[in-house]
Amino acid sequence: MEKEKVITTSTASEIETEFEDKEKESEEKVEAALFISGKFLNLQDLIMLTDVNPIMLREILNHLEKKYSYGAIRVINRNNSWKMDVAEKYHFMVNKLATGSTEFTKAEQETLAVIAYKQPIKQSVVIKIRGNKAYDHIKKFREVGLVTTKRVSHTLELELSEDFYDYFNVHKKEKNFENTDDEPENSDETEKTEPELNNSSKE
């Protein structure tokens, strides 16, 4: 006759330890995924990357948000997507490290600044301000997902995408500009007053 298995205190302790080890390993996987990605990841993204079940994943994310609620590194939750980022007060360090980056040329940054300052703005107006070289700049911004477009009459209307705010670590602000699509009276003057945009992306 087969002996009935009895869960002893020792066995129960081993099971508990094994569960805790798996939970710790799962948390480390999620932490690593957030650290490496450098962008917002939703639940589906994290499940695919870590293979952690959704219930445990939510518990881990809640714990990580509390764990990184102070200090230099934070875990940010935005619309049920999570990202590990530098605390806002240390963004100036990111900006310093990014100074001189060749990912965007000075001319490209100036064109992007015009779009950021005047959005939504027609492509034709950007070209009048920045010259024909801006066609290539806009093409690049669209390819990397920083600018969205929609057809308006015979031109395109340009606006910053959500990825822009993530990429440059800036907060989205509501702006109300009067008649932003009007052609500038003096393109030289407009260039002088446009805000400077520094590439503050993270590695």
Q: Are residues 159 and 135 in the same domain?
A: yes
Mark whether 76 and 114 lie in a shared domain.
Answer: no
Whether omega before 120 lies within 30 degrees of 0, making that bond cis, reads yes
- pLDDT for 7: 61
What residue type is assigned to position 168 of the chain?
F
- pLDDT bucket at 81, cuts 50 / 70 / 90: very high
CB 116 within 8 A of CB 147: no
Amino acid at residue number 19:
F
The verdict on 99 and 188 lying in the same domain is yes
In a domain, 201, yes or no: no
User: Is 82 contained in some domain?
Assistant: yes
Reported pTM: 0.44
Over the stretch 109-123, which tens digit does the pLDDT of each residue have?
888 888 888 888 999
Nearest to 112 by CA among 129, 92, 100: 129
What is the total count of domains within the chain? 2
Last residue of a domain, one of 86, 108, 131: 86
CATH number assigned to the domain comprising residue 42 = 1.10.10.10
- Which of 55, 86, 117 terminates a domain? The answer is 86
Domain annotation covers residue 200: no
C-beta of residue 119 within 8 angstroms of C-beta of residue 81: no
d(CA 123, CA 49): 39
Instruction: State the pLDDT at residue 200.
Output: 42
67 and 105: one domain? no
151, 106: one domain: yes
- In percent, how much of the chain has pLDDT > 70? 67
- The rounded distance, in Å, linking the Cα atoms of 95 and 142 is 23
Look at residue 142 and tell me if it is in a domain: yes
Note whether residue 1 is domain-resident: no
Selection from 82, 66, 84, 64 nearest residue 74 by Cα: 84
Same domain, 183 and 120: yes
Range of the domain at 51: 9-86
Domain boundary among 34, 52, 86: 86
Residue 172's pLDDT band, with cuts at 50, 70 and 90, is: low
User: 116 and 183 in one domain?
Assistant: yes
Same domain, 101 and 168: yes
